[in-house]
Structure 1
Amino acid sequence: MNKYPILVAGLLLAMFAVAGTGLVAFTQEQTKDRIAANEREALLRSLNALVPADSIDNDIVTDTRFVNDIERLGGDKIQVYLGRKGGQPVAAVFASVVPDGYSGPIKLLVAVRTDGSLGGVRIVSHKETPGLGDKVEERKSDWVYSFKDKSLINPDISRWKVKRDGGDFDQFTGATVTPRSIVGAVKNTLLYFRDKGMALFERPSDNEAPPEKVASTQV
């Protein structure tokens, strides 16, 4: 049996595999900066929808902290984006988590101004039932816009519930669990900010992590 053709075929396959791997690696290397830039731009658009660009003068994408509060923020490493103007605090945007959505966790952006009022809320991701719970998306309904300018005194903290439970917030026909969970999560984010929010804006001291590592600071 002539093994030469088999050996040649094996070598060709190996060469194609190496070349393919190299091409993929090269493509990833060439596009990673563009992908990162696109991701940053998308995040900045979402943040600016809640904290207008003309209300701050810092880089809100990188001026961040991580906080641990499973009970109120839904996770043990929740990122908070900080908006400042002239060095003064303007608003904090929490990447909060709703752990008890109908079909699983729901990720939110919750913007809280320094006066304790909401700059707004946006749904980042969810797995809620299409046609029912997915109405929390801004492209499906305007329900999520109802949070803007609300606070723990507007409405009264006792009214931070869906109407079915005796509160002020609408629910959806056939889907109460999703809006109920989100209303509760937004209320809990406001409670966190009331108790600890302003401390997030404190700059790290000289013996703490340098500015480029502030994002990993625990509060």
Structure 2
Amino acid sequence: MKRIAAGITLLLLAIVGIGVTYVVQRSSAPYIAAEQRVIDSRKLLDMLATDTYDNQPLEQPLTLSDIALSHSTLVGGYRATRAGQPVAVLLRSQTQGYAGPIELLIAIDANGKLLGVKTLKQTETPALGGHIADWPNSWLAAFSGKSNTEPTDNGWALKKDQGQFDQIAGATITSRAAINAIHDALRYFDEHRAALLGVGP
């Protein structure tokens, strides 16, 4: 009889324990999810100074049209605002590198100047084109401040192609792909400025 009572007691304790665990997990899940979203957001938005925007850009993706560009394809876009005014647009761009697709996040300010570029995905050769994934990335940082027209179209190329930019050492194809995708994104911004910023034409 004592064994049965002890067994029932253990069973009840197990049920209570499972129930408490379930309730705790359910009640903390939204908080954990919110914290994870903040972490993910900062990882994607670390090209933007935190005091330059006050919305949650990733929670309000833009609807993009004409996404097939000359050398790349846009796979997403976001608008950063402060006090309701647009301060930057972030475009996710996919282009073909040496070993496979490269996905870049390209941040452009409201005036069409490049704020920064970050590699989100790539399968380039380690120690060569794979350096495009380094963060921070001194090679990608060299594009900051550039725009669709600064330099001119001819300048948006590698120096070995009579352009203005150095290449990642030993990674000509990767470098060309990134330069072309960045220029594509800046050109797209200029052509769709009003829609991207959410302002009148």
Instruction: Please classify the TM superposition score into its range, dividing by the shorter chain length.
Output: 0.7 to 0.9
Report the alpha carbon displacement of residue 35 of structure 1 after superposing the two structures with TM: 6.6
Residues 72, 193 of structure 1: alpha-carbon distance in 2 compared, 3 angstrom cutoff:
farther
Per-residue deviation at 1:95? 1.1
For the residues of structure 2 that align with 1:178 and 1:35, how far apart are their CA atoms? 38
Instruction: Please tell me whether residue 113 in structure 1 is matched to residue 109 in structure 2.
Output: yes
Q: CA deviation at 1:38?
A: 5.3
CA distance 1:132–1:93, shift in 2 (3 Å): same
- Alignment of 1:127 onto 2:113: no
Using the alignment, how far apart are the partners of 2:161 and 2:33 within structure 1? 43
Matched ranges for 1:166-177 at <5 A: 166-177=162-173
How far does residue 91 in structure 1 lie from its aligned partner after superposition? 0.6
Aligned to 1:201: 197
The 1:45–1:173 alpha-carbon spacing in structure 2 relative to 1, beyond 3 Å, is same
Q: Is 2:91 aligned against 1:101?
A: no
Cα 1:132/1:120, change in 2 over 3 Å: same
SS in 1 for 2:103: strand
Among 81, 86, 98, which residue is 2:83 paired with? 86
Alignment counterpart, residue 53 of structure 1, candidates 50, 59, 66? 50
Instruction: Choose from 69, 72, 76 the match for 1:71.
Output: 69
Q: Is the 8 A contact 2:110 2:197 kept in 1?
A: no
SS at match of 1:89: strand
Paired residue total: 174
What is the TM-score of this pair, normalised by structure 2? 0.76
Cα pair 2:118 2:135 within 8 Å, conserved: no
The corresponding residue for 1:186 is 182
Distance 2:118 2:50 in 1: 17
Alignment partner of 2:59 out of 59, 62, 74: 62
State how far apart, in whole Å, the 2-side matches of 1:53 and 1:38 are. Answer: 16
- Whole-angstrom distance in 2 between the partners of 1:73 and 1:93: 18
Bigger CA drift: 175-184 or 151-160?
Answer: 151-160
Going from structure 1 to structure 2, the CA distance change for 1:72 and 1:38 (only over 3 Å counts) comes to: farther
Is the partner of 1:121 in helix, strand or coil?
A: strand
SS, match of residue 67 in structure 1: coil
Q: Secondary structure at the match of 1:177?
A: helix
Q: 1:48 to 1:172 in 2, by over 3 A?
A: closer
Report the alpha carbon displacement of residue 180 of structure 1 after superposing the two structures with TM: 0.5
Identity %: 32
Q: What amino acid sits opposite 1:102 in the alignment?
A: Y
Alpha-carbon distance change, 75 to 127 in structure 1, aligned in 2, over 3 angstroms: same
- Aligned residue type for 2:38: E
Aligned position for 2:39: 42
Q: 1:35 to 1:177 in 2, by over 3 A?
A: farther
Gaps of 5+ in 2: 1-21
1:193 maps to a residue whose letter is F
Q: Which runs of 5+ in 1 are unaligned?
A: 1-25, 204-219
Q: Select 1:154's aligned residue among 150, 155, 165.
A: 150
Partner deviation per Cα, 1:72-119 (whole Å, 9 max, x = no partner): 58336x221101112111110011111x21111111100011111011
Q: 1:86 to 1:34 in 2, by over 3 A?
A: closer
Aligned CA RMSD, in angstroms, stands at 2.4
